[in-house]
Every structure is written in C-alpha cells, then in structure tokens.
Amino acid sequence: MSQIAIEQSPANTSSEVAKTLTDAQATEIVGEINELALETVERGMLEIGDLILNKVFQGSLGEATSRNPLKSKSMKQIADHKQLRVDRRRLGEWVRAANLRQQLIAKSVDCSNLSYSHFAALLRVKDDNKRQTLAATANEKQWKARHLANQVSEMNKAEVAEGDAQESDLPSDMTAGRLLTALANPRILMEDKEAQRFLGNPQDLEKLSFDVRMQVARDATELFKCMVGSMDLLKLAKKNIALIELGLSEPVDVQADEV
C-alpha cells in the first residue's frame, strides 16, 4: 500500500507568531470585510431581481412592479418552493429594485455607483422626476445608501406634513407631520402623550393614509433599532461617569456586554 507523504510545517517560533493588531487596524479590516460582504450580498439581490424579471415575468413589468409581486401565480410558485434558500418575503422588493434600475438606465440616468440599498430607498419616492434627480445626485456625489435613505425620508416627511396637516378626520390637533416628528426624536415622543396614545390606537392609525402608515412603520422600526443599539453604550457612559465622580482618575473600560 502506497503511503501519502504529508508535509508538516515546523512549529511556529515566537518570532513567527502574528503580532496583535491595533484597534485601528482591526477596525479598518472589519470595515473592509463588511463592505465586501455588503457589496456581494447586494449585488446578488439585484441579480436575483433581474433573473426573476427575465424568466418569471418575461417583460410583464406592470405585474412585477406592483406592491405585491407575489400575487403572480408564477412568482408565488417560486416563492413557495421548498428548495428556495433566500427570504421569500424579500423577493418582491428585489424585483422592484431591479426593475427600477432598468428604468433609470433606460432614461439615461447613471447608476454605476448605486447599490441595491440605494434602489430600495428610491422605491419610496413616488414622483418619477424627483426619483431620477435623487438617483443622479446620489450617483454623482457617491452618497452612502444610508444618506440617500435619510434624504428620501426627509423629503417624504415634508410632503406628508404639507399634504396632511389639514386632515379633519385626525383626532384633536394630531397631524401626520407631528406624528412623524415625534418618531424622529425619542425625547419628543416621550413628552408627546397624544402621539403615544395615537400610536397605540389602531382606530386612529387607520385614519392615516396608507403611505403615512407605512412611513410611521418604517420610522418606528428605525427608532427601535437606535434605542436598542444605544442601550449598552448609555449604560457604559453612566457607569464611567459614576466611577469618575467616585474619585477614580481613570474610568474602567467595561465591555458593553458586561454592563
């Protein structure tokens, strides 16, 4: 029986052991990893959207770009397939984002610097001209997707506040603009008892237009993420301040998960 020679590397000497990275170096590497992962994932989302557009809808974009592409029998067949390994609930948005990219390119809007997240944000813009202008500006100035999403949110809030400020069916002096303003700032929300009551009452929420309700849902999700994500940091800050006040010259650097 022949033997397979296995080449063994010599044991590392102390001089060959990798040095510990500085915090700055580790942060830089993690940032590069995250960017690469995000780019790869988002490119895949758009490619899946393009594939569905071409092979499932075959040019029937009216149906593909409706609010619920899963209404299509063929699309539902794909989404419900037991071997599908992606989030079926996201397929519709991927299709709409891919179609939006095709539409913008067809109108000579340069989208070379835009990712899936950019197109997802642009889907929230109703007006075609405003959408094209935002897409062109975001591409030219190489905006991050988060910055573009914030620009879209601010624009939508302004339009909602202007269009809904006079709605007579809203209770008391509550307006869509006031509600969205409260959701944009935790302190304002905690002080606005009427906004709190409004948000907790399904009958009141039903009086809002569909677009405003969806904006409220998105803003509520973002606010929740921010509040949960900042809890450990705020606790750590309070603990360090308490240690300083106790006379310690150097606050203890406590890990967030130990607070």
Tens of pLDDT along the chain (259 residues)?
444 444 444 555 444 445 688 888 888 888 888 778 778 888 898 999 889 888 887 755 555 555 444 556 778 888 888 898 888 878 888 888 898 999 999 999 999 999 988 998 898 888 889 999 999 999 999 998 888 988 888 887 777 665 554 444 444 456 677 777 777 777 778 888 888 888 888 877 877 777 777 888 888 887 787 777 777 887 888 888 888 878 765 555 544 444 4
| Residue labelled with tokens 């780019």 | 39
What's the pLDDT score for residue 249?
A: 54
Between CA 209 and CA 196 the distance in angstroms is 18
Between CA 41 and CA 63 the distance in angstroms is 26
- Say if CB 182 and CB 161 are below 8 A apart: no
Between CA 68 and CA 156 the distance in angstroms is 21
**What is the greatest pairwise CA distance in the chain?**
90
What's the pLDDT score for residue 142?
A: 93
Nearest in space to 176 (alpha carbons), one of 149, 207, 201: 207
What's the pLDDT score for residue 61?
A: 58
Residue type, 93: E
- Say if CB 90 and CB 46 are below 8 A apart: no
Between CA 230 and CA 151 the distance in angstroms is 23
59 Ramachandran zone, left/alpha/beta (phi>0; psi -120 to 50): left
CA atoms within 13 A on the CB side of 2: 3
Between CA 152 and CA 162 the distance in angstroms is 15
Task: Report the sign of the C-alpha dihedral through residues 170, 172, 173, 174, in that order.
Answer: negative
Nearest in space to 86 (alpha carbons), one of 51, 122, 39, 113: 51
What's the pLDDT score for residue 72?
A: 67
Domain limits, the chain: 165-259
What's the pLDDT score for residue 197?
A: 84
* Exposed / middle / buried, residue 215 (Cβ in 10 Å: 0-12, 13-18, 19+): buried
What's the pLDDT score for residue 2?
A: 46
- Say if CB 198 and CB 183 are below 8 A apart: no
